[in-house]
Amino acid sequence: MIDQETTDLYTLFPFLKEVQLHTYDLTPVKLSSGVCAFTEGDDSTSIPLLLKGSIKVLKIAESGREILLYRIKPGETCIIMLSSALGNIPYPATAMVEQDVEALMIPIKLYMDWMHHVPAVQNFTFQSLAQRLGSVMALIEEITFKRIDIRLIRFLLAHTTEKQPLLYQTHEEIAVELGTVREVISRLLKNLEVDHLLILSRGKIEITRRQELEKMLLIR
């Protein structure tokens, strides 16, 4: 039985009030950072409701190249897992635990029963599908139509501030975020360093001329 005093289930997932969750013997699953939560090809037998932590959902090519599809935060579910479970098809991505996770795993048969009988569960499901589809479409647009150098500058500015100019990420991690390869990111960052706009260190990037980077977005 879930301890309602130590979790914020109903705040994160209001629809759980409608399904009388206390009548089910469900215990949250805990996973540590760095663990692979789901692998491509796994059977989707449960619907995850994230209570704590963060999971990143990736698509990994045979070459090993990765692209970040989206992150799952508390109050969200994995929409790919949801669609795979509902469609009875294998999970088509890889889910890695980014920050220690606590999640409630709802068996697919139980979740489908809720969907058929509880409008609040239907609303959560359809809203989650619509929101995540929108974010994935935006990702496709970014990758397909926008220049990688502009996207890199936007990424650097979005993840730093005037007072906090340091970004602790590797070139490989940034490449995954932006849907490209490490070599491209390394080359573009080196060019920016040559122009004295930033300083590169191992696993760290320091923005030294933020206003110049912001002007580059306007020019390009």
pLDDT (tens digit, 9 = 90+) per residue, 57-100? 999 887 778 888 999 999 999 999 988 988 889 999 999 999 99
Q: What CATH code is carried by the domain that includes residue 109? A: 2.60.120.10
Whole-angstrom distance between the N-terminal and C-terminal Cα of the chain? 56
Q: Is the pLDDT of residue 144 over 80?
A: no
Q: Does residue 151 share a domain with residue 139? A: no
The answer to whether residues 33 and 90 belong to one domain is: yes
Mean pLDDT of 112-137: 92
Tokens of 57: 């959902």
- Same-domain status, 62 and 101: yes
Residues with Cβ within 8 Å of 58's Cβ and at least 6 positions away in sequence, in order, are: 66, 67, 68, 69, 93, 94, 95, 96, 176
In a domain, 173, yes or no: yes
Q: Could you tell me if 16 and 124 lie in one domain?
A: yes
Domain finish residue from 143, 163, 193: 143
pLDDT per residue as tens digits for the range 161-210: 999 999 999 999 999 889 888 889 999 999 999 999 999 999 999 999 99
Q: Which domain holds residue 200?
A: 146-219
2 lies in a domain? no
Q: How many domains, in total, are found in the chain?
A: 2
The pLDDT, as a whole number, for residue 219 is: 66
For 105: left if phi > 0, alpha if psi spans -120 to 50, otherwise beta; the answer is beta
